[in-house]
Amino acid sequence: MTGNPSEPVGNFTIDDDVRNEEVGKPQVLVDKRETAYAVRRKQSLRARYIFGFIFFTTNLLAWFFRDYGYKILHGLRREVARIGAGIFLLLQLISMLQFLAWCNSQWMPDPQSGRCLIFSGFFGLFLSTISYIASFSGIVLMYIMYAPHLSCIINIFSITWTAILVIIMMIVSLHSKVNNGLLSSGIMGLYIVFLCWSAIESEPQNEKCKTPKKMAENGDWTTIVCFLIALCAIVMATFSTGIDTRSFQFVKDEAQLEDDIPYRYEIFHFVFSMGAMYFAMLFISWELDHPTRKWSIDVGWASTWVKIINEWLAASIYLWKLISPVIMRDNAIHHEESMQNVHSLV
């Protein structure tokens, strides 16, 4: 029968709309599958092109470095070692500043903290006194040993500038706005005096401003012992800097559990890689084109100036650490006063 909108099937009636919907379902599924297949095929072709380009680029770079890389990397790797050694010196300085902060918190506690100040205060005063006595005694000895006449301009300038830096750090730390005490400035003063002495000791042995030393051609037993002691000291400094990972973290509020490792692997290995570059620079005395003397370590004008610059940088960063809280506090007060004036005018 034509023209009927529905046909009876048993006791049920099937509408034409339902029949058309059921007939159209397989077609919709086929269309969806074709669309998904087309998308997958397109993604597969795109991935093939991308990986093919990466493979081609990798082979091209491998060929380039095989034939021409030595000429480029031969000089570059030495400069990278210098940069890594400089980064290690900076990391050592950060660790030193963290150590000074720890000394202040342990032996120069705040009177409002409620801690016992008798033993820690006396020990901090004793340690700061010893540090300043050793610092100024070292400066006097360096004048006697390394500046015997006025022609030793570099030594006189280095020692005098070191003495000025020690005095400046002492005055700034005792300023009423800073009020940091003498302990950290005394230890830092002793540290930069040591750096100054080490820099002068790194000058070549044939310099007339140094105390002459009788040394065998290949080094006597004292030279070898000093070399081994210096090597062990550098190893210990590298290890202590590597495990002091909290000094290099920006966020330090994370609670450390009992079973946690006291250092982070990535920082530890990064510091050791920088320390290895620093070792390499010490063995060649920071000179890339000149041979070094047997059983000598870190001797030469390049080593001398590296240590002098390291000393100046250490003193500058320490002074900035003392002054920066005062500057920020004054800026905050000035900003609050200006905001209050604006509100009062409104």
Q: Is the pLDDT of residue 188 over 80?
A: yes
What gap in Å lies between CA 159 and CA 197, rounded to an integer? 8
Helix axes 265-283, 221-243, angle to 10 degrees: 160
Helix (H) or strand (E) holding 250: none
Amino acid occupying residue 80: V
Quick one: pLDDT at residue 13?
Answer: 47
Q: Is the pLDDT of residue 285 over 80?
A: no
Most confident of 50-59, 154-163, 239-248: 154-163
Residue that wins the pLDDT comparison between 340 and 37: 340
Sign of the torsion angle spanned by Cα atoms 217, 222, 228, 231: negative
Mean predicted lDDT score pLDDT of the chain: 74
Domain boundaries, the chain: 6-58, 82-340
What gap in Å lies between CA 240 and CA 334, rounded to an integer? 42
Residue 8 tokens read as 């009876």
* Helix, coil or strand: residue 257: coil
Q: Looking at 78-82, 111-115, 191-195, 337-341, which range is the least confident one?
A: 111-115
Helix (H) or strand (E) holding 74: helix 16-107
- 165 and 192 Cβ atoms separated by less than 8 Å: yes
Please provide residue 15's backbone torsions phi and psi, each rounded to the nearest 5 degrees. Answer: -75, 155
**Could you identify the residue written with the tokens 């590298």?**
238
Q: Residue 14's pLDDT band (boundaries 50, 70, 90)?
A: very low
Q: Looking at 94-103, 300-309, 320-329, which range is the least confident one?
A: 94-103
Residue that wins the pLDDT comparison between 50 and 34: 50
Please provide residue 131's backbone torsions phi and psi, each rounded to the nearest 5 degrees. Answer: -65, -45
Average pLDDT on 262-281 reads 76
pLDDT tens digits for 98-156?
Answer: 888 888 877 776 655 555 556 667 888 888 899 999 999 999 999 998 888 888 899 99
Integer angstrom CA distances of residue 131 from 54, 73, 115, 145: 60, 46, 24, 21
- The CB density around residue 288, as the number of other CB atoms within 10 Å, is 13
Q: Residue 9's pLDDT band (boundaries 50, 70, 90)?
A: very low
Average pLDDT on 328-346 reads 72
Quick one: pLDDT at residue 135?
Answer: 94
Residue 126 CB partners (closer than 8 Å, separation 6+): none
pLDDT tens digits for 68-105?
Answer: 766 666 667 777 888 888 888 888 888 888 888 888 87
Quick one: pLDDT at residue 10?
Answer: 46
Torsion angle of C-alpha atoms 171, 176, 180, 181, degrees rounded to 10: 70
What gap in Å lies between CA 145 and CA 138, rounded to an integer? 10
Quick one: pLDDT at residue 298?
Answer: 72
Quick one: pLDDT at residue 33?
Answer: 66
Residue 166 CB partners (closer than 8 Å, separation 6+): 132, 135, 136, 139, 189, 192, 193
Q: Is the pLDDT of residue 12 over 60?
A: no
Residue 189 CA to chain centroid, in angstroms?
Answer: 22
Residue 62 CA to chain centroid, in angstroms?
Answer: 32
